[in-house]
Structures are given as C-alpha cells and as structure tokens.
Amino acid sequence: MEEAVKISYILVRIVIILIAAKIGGYIAEKLKQPSVLGELAAGIILGPSLFNFINPYEPDSAFQLLHFLGEIGVILLLFQIGLESNIHQLLKAGLTSTLVATIGVAVPVALGFAYSMYAIADIGFNGAFLIGATLAATSVGITMRVLSEIKKVNSHEGKIILGAAVIDDIIGLVILSVVAGLVSGAGQSIPLVVGKTILFSVIFLIASIWLGIRYLPKMYTITRPLKINRTFVFSSFVVMMFFAAVADVIGLATIVGAFAAGLIFERLEEKEHFQAKIQPMAHIFVPIFFVVAGLYLDAKALFLPGMLPLVFALTIIAVVGKLVSGFGAIGTKTSKLAIGIGMIPRGEVGLIFSAFGLAASLITKDIYSALVLVIMITTIVTPPFLVRAMKNIKGTGAISESEQIL
Amino acid sequence: MEEAVKISYILVRIVIILIAAKIGGYIAEKLKQPSVLGELAAGIILGPSLFNFINPYEPDSAFQLLHFLGEIGVILLLFQIGLESNIHQLLKAGLTSTLVATIGVAVPVALGFAYSMYAIADIGFNGAFLIGATLAATSVGITMRVLSEIKKVNSHEGKIILGAAVIDDIIGLVILSVVAGLVSGAGQSIPLVVGKTILFSVIFLIASIWLGIRYLPKMYTITRPLKINRTFVFSSFVVMMFFAAVADVIGLATIVGAFAAGLIFERLEEKEHFQAKIQPMAHIFVPIFFVVAGLYLDAKALFLPGMLPLVFALTIIAVVGKLVSGFGAIGTKTSKLAIGIGMIPRGEVGLIFSAFGLAASLITKDIYSALVLVIMITTIVTPPFLVRAMKNIKGTGAISESEQIL
C-alpha cells in the first residue's frame, strides 16, 4: 500500500484543522456568533491570507484528501438537514420558494453580466455571463447551520430559504450548462443542453424522493429480520452517498442528493436512530468543510490594483441581488429581509462555477480570485445579520446536537 | 474548490465497496466465518484478480482517497481495540508477548533470507534481507477483529497476541530502518539508526501511555465545564489522530499510536460513551480497509512462470515462522497453536516493507507481487483456523458492536 504522501503529513493537517475549528467555534460562540463563523475564520488564519499553512491554490494530494473529507462533511450536513425537514411542509412552501429563487437568480445574473461587460476589459460575452452565473447559486449550508444553531430551521423563513436554495441550485446549474454549451460551441445545441438539465433535475428530485418514500420503508421491512450487523448507520450512509453520487452524475450538486436522501429517511420510523448514529461523524467532518472554505479566501488578492473596486461592486451586486429576492415571499406573513439575507451566502456551487470559468479561460486568475473573495465575503457577512433578522421570528428545529456536550 | 476527479467517481466507488463489503460479510457470517473474510473476498472480486473495477497497482487519485479512508478505518479499529484492552492486564502479558514476538520475527527473517539467497537469482544481500523482513511483522487487525467477532479479545491468548504484535511491529520497523540504512549507505551509521528507532519506539509507547493516563483525565476535568458543543467524539478523534500521526513521524505504524490512544481513553470514566460515539464511524470506515486489502491481491500474478513455487515457499516460511512463535508462550496455560495462528496474518506493515523494497530497487515487480500475494494469503488463511483453534478457549471481550443491529 504505497503512499504518495506520508500519512502523518495528512493526519497532522486534520488534527490542526479540527483543533482550529474547535477554538474558532468556541470564540465565535462566546461572541454570540454562530460557530460556523469561527470555523471559517480558522480557515482564513491557516490559509494563504495569514499563516499559509495550507494553500488551496497550490493543492498537494494531502489537500485533495482534506477537501474530500470536507465534501463528506457538507454531504452529511445536508443529509442531517433533510432528516430535520418534512417533505409535506416543504411542498407547501413550493410556490413562494420558486418565486424567491427566480428573483434571486435573475437579478445577480443580469446585474453581474451588465457590470462585467461595462467594467472589465476584454471579458467577452461568455466571461461576463459566467461571472453573473457565479453569483446566482445560494449555498444553503451556511444559512441552515446558522438557523440550526439558533433553532429556527423549521420557521416559515427557514423553509422558504431551503426550498429556494434547492431551486436556485437547479436554475444555477442550468445556467452553467448553458455557459458550458456556449463554450463547447460545436457541441450540443443550447436548447438541448437546457432541456436535458431541466429534465434530469426535475426527474431526479421527484423520482428519488417519491420512490424513496414509497420503497425504502419496504426494503427495511425486508432487511430488518436479516439482522446483518451494523446495518443501521451503514445503510443510511450508503444511501446518502449513492444519492449524492447520482445527483453529481446528472449534473446537480452532491448536496441536493444528500438532502433528498435525508428527506426520505425522515419518513422512516427509526428517524431518531439515524440522527443519533450520523451525528458523531458529522461533528468531525462538517467543521472540516467550513475550515476548507475559509482557506480559499486569500486576503492578499485584495491589494492588487483595481481588485478592491471590482470585489466591492460584485459584492454589492451579490448582496442586493439576493436581498431583493426576499420580495418573492409576497403575500406571506414572513420577514422578507430575513429571507433575503438567508439567500446571500454563496459557496461550493459558485466556486465550481468560477473554477470552470478559469479552466475554460473565460476569466483570468485575478478575476477568479476576486470571485472567490466575493463568494467568501457573502458567506462571512451573512451569519451576524441573519441572526439579528431572525431574532424575533418564531421557529423550531435545530440539528438536534446543540445540547449534546459529552 | 477545483476537483481533480469528479466527486461522483469516488462516491460511486465508496458505495460499491461498502455494499460489496456488506454482502461479503453477510455471506461469510452465513458460512460461519468472520465477516472480515467476506470483506477481503469482496476486495479480491472487485480488484485486478477478477472484475478489475479498482486496480491498486494503477492508483488514480480516487484510489488514494479510498486508501486513506481505509487508513482511517484501521486507525479507528486499533483505537477501539485499545478501548477494549486494559493496560494493566497487557503489562502482565509482557514477558510472554516479547518472547513470542522475538521468535516470530527471528524465524521468518532467517528462513526468508536464506531461502531468497538460495532460490532467487540476482537478489543480493539487501534484497534477501528485505524479503525476510517483509515476513516479520504481524498485522494485528485481522486477528483482533476475528477475536472480537468470536468475543475472545480478552482471552489469555488474545492478550499475548496483541502484545506480541505491538512488539513485533516495533522489531520489524527497526529491521526496516536497518535495511533503509544499508541502502542509503552514505547515510547514518547502522548502530545509530537502530539505536534511534529503538529509542523512539520505547519512549513513544511508555511516555504517551504514561502521560496520557496521568494527564488526559485532568484535561477533561478542565474542559468539561467549558461545555464546548460536540466535544466528546471530537476530542477522542483528535487525540487518536494525533497519536497516530506522532507514531508515524517517529517511524512506527500509525496503528501503534491509535492503539496507545485507545489504551489511554480506556482509563477515563466516560469510556463507554467514547465507544458508542466512535462505533458508527468505525462501522463505515473499517470495512473499507479490508476491502482495499483484498484489492491488492492479483491472482493473475500466480500464473507467471516460477511464481507459484516462490509464493508457495514464502507462504510456508511465513506460516511456519509464526506457528513456532507460539512456543514463546512456554510456561503459560495457553494454546500455543492458537497464539501461533493468531500471529500469522501480515498486513499493512509487510506491504509497506515490500513497497519500500520495490521503490529502492531491492526487489523486482514480480517478486513484489509475490510478496503481496504471500501477505494476502497469510491474512486470508488465518481466520478459519483461528476460529477453530480458539473454539474451546475461554474469553470475553468483543468490540461491543456485534449485537447492535439497528
């Protein structure tokens, strides 16, 4: 079993990331902030901005491993959030969520495209479109973790945000497919790419959740008497990973699949057992994701000439574009401001977009860095404002771990 | 967050490995065999021997990830075994274990060296020595999992084997250091390398366990009132990984460190909580290790000319060399045969040795394949014989998971 990297090299990094996450989370909690903010700060401190202990822009194979462990973390997080959600309640929030998502995609794409065409030399139609698309997709992980920590996952606002984030992920990925189609040019026709992605997304979500809720309980009725050791946590983990893989294969984010898997397991009578068994793993892997997200922020890029105005303008577009999406909740007795703020964080999907743009030479490395910065800023500024906006809103539902200390 | 590999590529592999492990384990249990044998068989079927679904000899970055997840698995396994062990009982078995380990290293190294010098053309002194050394180190994982499944970890035989495996790991690694010193030549003097490794090993085990048992409970007394969320599983995981890393840094196997960490946590009053929290993760990661171990067996190498006699002879040496080590338990009321059989499995340490030999051009790729085959055969043949030899021996202690089904 030859190793490319000495195993202690990666183990030491995991240990330091976990300890830094814990310290950051503890300080954040003392400052009455969600601990996720402390974990992001831990990542920024360990990353190229300060200590340069781990540089995600010069990834070695140890970083790839860390990144993958973080991916498992965010998959576990969305699975847990699915376990905490309720499919019937989510469907009720459907129309409102769709409206919020549509506004929240249309405004940043339009403004981002227009500004890029105006302000960035030699960006080109495709590049400007990509920058707009990068600002489209909300990263539901941050918002949901904040809502979980303040126990408001099941508020009306929380459900609308969650639904809208799932929908804008789908819309966002359609846009990325369109950009990819425009780049490949000689490839498939744009209507075909658009049609296929929409079709796959809708089929996946409806079919997986419908089939899962219909047949998974029956599968458990069959396997329970087999008494295969260690079946419980094992089976939920396998189904979760499988759904994440399927989502990725058909072009959706892995977390959409993990969330769908969580929704299905929520219907099973052993729901609480699944939560209890998955939690210890989530406690370890979820913080890795947020520390890694923090690593990507390189504060030094801010000091390159012209970068500060660009980052500033794109951040304003990213924030305003989502704030106005709150008005999509028209006719409901909810805080439009809280919904808009909850939609602000961008994350893995935006980062995938900008990485695609860099790889396809649609944007330069500097603009890529600016985009990553904007994504990170939207993520970092959200939690304190979200906590404040949600303060007087009634709600229940935390990922039921907050009280567990020992 | 650019990815070298599409994430579904690795997720699908994890899902297939986990399902194959579960099916293999289930069939093995139905055949009254330990499930670890079924997991190894699952790996052989998925590997180059049959379906070639995953080829560890042409590792891509997805395989590196799988391999690392397996490493986490074996670390978790040895941590659990440490949690099940008792330092005082282990020390009582000390002299016997040392005698068993010494015989179990000396005989295979001497026979392996002599046979290689006689039978393999152009092998050279260092190559023959390396082949002997590859056959020296017992992989305690297989034996302990078997004993755990038949609930005899805490039999006299189990404790002697565990102690001897720890000691022969240390002796084995000293030998590897000697080989490395011989290869580098111009490097440090042999007595210095030998002295340093012995010193580090002894210091590590004594100091870590002594300091851990002395100070870890005090650290918990300090951190308990801080009520940092999710501290429990988190802290044990961090300490476990840290000990594994330290062991690796000073030239020992990671699992020696994980085992030491387990011994320390066994002394804490919350021992059972640690076990309960670590188990769900072990249920998922441990099978990955054994499936990956199975992947390394390439049955096709058997059909190369001259390979079958070589594999046969080295296997006989590997088996006999450890069987006679059972006589080291002279003067105890134990089954010498059971101890000898329990020492037979070779694993990660032997594979590291042979990989080192290949990298240093001490052995050819064919001999490397033969060695890997021998290592795998010793591992695969052991469980049924061990179960039979342990049948009438009294004992307690399983990694307390066997009854947990849902």
Asked if B230 lies within 8 A of A401 by C-beta distance, the reply is yes
Q: Strand, coil or helix: what is B138?
A: strand
Work out the pLDDT band at B108, boundaries 50, 70, 90: very high
Q: Hey, how many other C-beta atoms are within 10 angstroms of the C-beta on A73?
A: 23
DSSP 8-class letter at A187: S
Give the gap in angstroms from C-alpha A333 to the nearest C-alpha of chain B: 34
Shortest CA distance from B252: residue in chain A: A8
- The CATH number of residue B95's host domain is 1.20.1530.20
Asked if B2 lies within 8 A of A359 by C-beta distance, the reply is yes
Where residue B52 falls (left for φ over 0; alpha for ψ -120 to 50; beta otherwise) is left
Asked if B10 lies within 8 A of A68 by C-beta distance, the reply is yes
Q: What are phi and psi of B311, to 5 degrees?
A: -60, -45
Give the gap in angstroms from C-alpha B93 to the nearest C-alpha of chain A: 30
Q: Which residues of A touch B33 (CB under 8 A)?
A: none
Q: Is residue B61 in a domain?
A: yes
Q: How many independent structural domains does chain B possess?
A: 1
Q: Which of A67, A277, A406 sits opposite B224 (nearest CB)?
A: A406
Asked if B8 lies within 8 A of A61 by C-beta distance, the reply is no
CA distance B296 to B368: 11
Q: Is residue B398 in a domain?
A: no
CA distance B173 to B184: 16
Asked if A280 lies within 8 A of B284 by C-beta distance, the reply is no
Give the gap in angstroms from C-alpha A351 to the nearest C-alpha of chain B: 6
* Of B321, B345, B358, nearest in space to B130 by CA: B358
Whether the CB-CB separation of A310 and A367 falls below 8 Å is answered with yes
Give the gap in angstroms from C-alpha A164 to the nearest C-alpha of chain B: 23
H helix runs in B139-189, sequence order: 140-149, 156-184
Work out the pLDDT band at B395, boundaries 50, 70, 90: low
Angle, vertex CA A61, rays to CA A58 and CA A64, nearest 5: 80
In this prediction, residues A357-381 reach a mean pLDDT of 81
As beta bridge partners, residue A346 has A138
Q: Residue B268: is it exposed, middle or buried by C-beta count within 10 angstroms (0-12/13-18/19+)?
A: middle
pTM equals 0.78
Q: A186: which residues sit within 8 A by CB, 6+ positions away?
A: none
Give tens-digit pLDDT for A285-336. Answer: 989 988 887 787 777 776 888 888 999 999 999 999 999 999 988 888 888 9
Give tens-digit pLDDT for A85-112. Answer: 777 766 666 788 889 999 999 999 999 9
CA dihedral A159, A160, A165, A171 (to 10 degrees): 140
Q: Is residue B402 in a domain?
A: no
Give tens-digit pLDDT for A203-244. Answer: 877 888 888 888 877 777 766 655 554 567 788 899 999 999
Domain assignment of residue A170, given as a range? 7-54+61-389
Q: Is residue A395 in a domain?
A: no
Distances (CA, A) of A270 to A79, A170, A259, A400, B61: 15, 30, 18, 15, 36
Work out the pLDDT band at A273, boundaries 50, 70, 90: confident
Asked if the model's pLDDT at residue B4 lies above 60, the reply is no
Q: A13: which residues sit within 8 A by CB, 6+ positions away?
A: A54, A62, A66
ipTM above 0.90, yes or no: no
CA distance B209 to B265: 10
Q: Which residues of A touch B228 (CB under 8 A)?
A: 22, 25-26, 29, 405
Q: Which of B6, B233, B270 sits opposite A284 (nearest CB)?
A: B233
Q: A214: which residues sit within 8 A by CB, 6+ positions away?
A: none
Q: Which residues of B touch A230 (CB under 8 A)?
A: 283, 401, 404-405
Amino acid A193: pLDDT: 63
In this prediction, residues B367-378 reach a mean pLDDT of 83
Work out the pLDDT band at A401, boundaries 50, 70, 90: very low
Range of A336-345, B270-279, B369-378 with top mean pLDDT: A336-345
Q: In which residue are the tokens 């690694």 written? A: B173
Q: Is residue B125 in a domain?
A: yes
Amino acid B61: pLDDT: 78
Asked if B8 lies within 8 A of A245 by C-beta distance, the reply is yes
Asked if the model's pLDDT at residue A267 lies above 60, the reply is yes
Q: Is residue A185 in a domain?
A: yes
H helix runs in B224-267, sequence order: 231-249, 254-266
Length of chain B: 406
Whether the CB-CB separation of A398 and A350 falls below 8 Å is answered with no
Q: Residue A87: is it exposed, middle or buried by C-beta count within 10 angstroms (0-12/13-18/19+)?
A: middle
Amino acid B1: pLDDT: 37
Lowest mean pLDDT among A142-156, B236-250, B352-366: B352-366
Whether the CB-CB separation of B135 and B321 falls below 8 Å is answered with yes
Distances (CA, A) of A238 to A82, A122, A196, A390, B19: 15, 47, 27, 35, 8
Q: Is residue B321 in a domain?
A: yes
Q: In which residue are the tokens 């789908």 written? A: A170
Q: Is residue A149 in a domain?
A: yes
